[in-house]
């Protein structure tokens, strides 16, 4: 790959179409069942590789996050170490996904860096190996690395491909951020939802166990959810604070978006069962 040239890669958002907490392990991690689906929208990561230096530089620091703590740099370093790479990279991110929203932005960024650098550094590491490496960075990283919509079990790393309907979503976020740790350490959180049988999976009859806790403690989320439910099936994704509302067309979603109060950030995106990142990589490989 030529150096000093920046290559752009999508870093898509994800939705948890539901989130059941079915138990808690001895190490404190929660046993989950969920379906991940990607969104066409997300962040964009630009990467330029260096063949003369192994330095990794993030040119667009994120406010409040030290570069060394950023999952982008952590992912690049993890791959560099894993493959014993002597090359480096300059990395930029156009950050559009809200932090603390439950859309998987940080995990997606890490996965995009792993997949993109594997391609740019010409390492030819399998997606299975990359996913295992990604799990050391976060439980949601493997689904972004593998790139297909999935029924997830365990802490989110046991993935079975599924094909939920690819609807249009209005994604909304009230002016509040929610700590994932605060939700998962809450004593009142439901942790005993019965396990699902994948053969009889009906996403529409499932729910988000975190939502009950969040709407009790974050009135901004509760009020927005109540408003949205007047117009469409709506549910929180992950630990929040983002809510997704399902529509059969972009026009319907945009119509309700136009009615939102000013302080609510929002975007409309199509749900997709194949990650835009992998579609992009395949196009690059095809030349």
Cα–Cα dist 287/285, whole Å? 5
DSSP string for residues in 24-37:
E-TTSPEEEEEEEE
Catalytic site includes residue 199: no
**170 HSE (CA, 13 A, CB side):** 28
> 62 is written with which tokens?
């994120």
Catalytic residue among 43, 140, 167, 209: 140
Q: Nearest 5 degrees, angle CA 229-CA 160-CA 108?
A: 65
For residue 205, count CB atoms less than 10 angstroms from its CB and return exposed for 0-12, middle for 13-18, buried for 19 or more: exposed
The total of other beta-carbon atoms located within 10 Å of residue 215's CB is 18
Whether residue 150 contacts residue 134, with contact meaning beta carbons closer than 8 Å, is answered with no
> 93 is written with which tokens?
């991110």
Catalytic site includes residue 94: no
The total of other beta-carbon atoms located within 10 Å of residue 261's CB is 10
Number of helical H runs and strand E runs in the chain: 9, 10
Cα–Cα dist 263/192, whole Å? 36
Could you check whether the bond before residue 241 is cis, i.e. omega within 30 degrees of 0? yes
Catalytic site positions: 14, 140
């Amino acid at each position: 790959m030529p150096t000093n040239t920046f290559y752009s890669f999508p870093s898509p958002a994800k939705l948890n179409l539901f989130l059941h907490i079915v138990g808690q392990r001895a190490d404190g991690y929660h046993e989950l069942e969920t379906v991940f689906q990607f969104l066409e929208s997300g962040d964009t990561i630009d990467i330029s590789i260096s063949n003369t230096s192994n330095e990794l530089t993030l040119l667009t620091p994120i406010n409040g996050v030290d570069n060394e703590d950023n999952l982008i740099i952590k992912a690049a370093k993890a791959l560099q170490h894993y493959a014993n790479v002597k090359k480096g990279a300059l990395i930029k991110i156009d950050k559009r996904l809200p932090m603390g929203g439950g859309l998987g932005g940080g995990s997606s960024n890490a996965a995009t860096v792993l997949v993109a650098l594997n391609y740019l550094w010409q390492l030819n590491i399998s997606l299975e190996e990359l996913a295992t490496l990604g799990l050391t960075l976060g439980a949601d990283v493997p689904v972004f690395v593998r790139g297909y919509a999935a029924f997830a079990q365990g802490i989110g790393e046991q993935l079975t491909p599924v094909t939920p309907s690819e609807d249009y979503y209005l994604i909304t976020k009230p002016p509040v951020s929610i700590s994932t740790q605060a939700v998962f350490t809450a004593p009142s959180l439901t942790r005993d939802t019965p396990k699902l049988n994948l053969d009889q999976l009906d996403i529409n009859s499932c729910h988000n166990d975190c939502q009950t806790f969040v709407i009790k403690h974050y009135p901004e989320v509760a009020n927005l959810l109540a408003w949205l439910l007047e117009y469409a099936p709506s549910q929180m994704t992950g630990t929040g604070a983002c809510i997704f509302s399902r529509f059969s067309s972009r026009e319907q979603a945009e119509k309700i978006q136009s009615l939102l109060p000013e302080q609510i950030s929002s975007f409309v995106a199509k749900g997709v069962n194949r990650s835009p990142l992998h579609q992009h990589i395949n196009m690059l490989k095809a030349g």
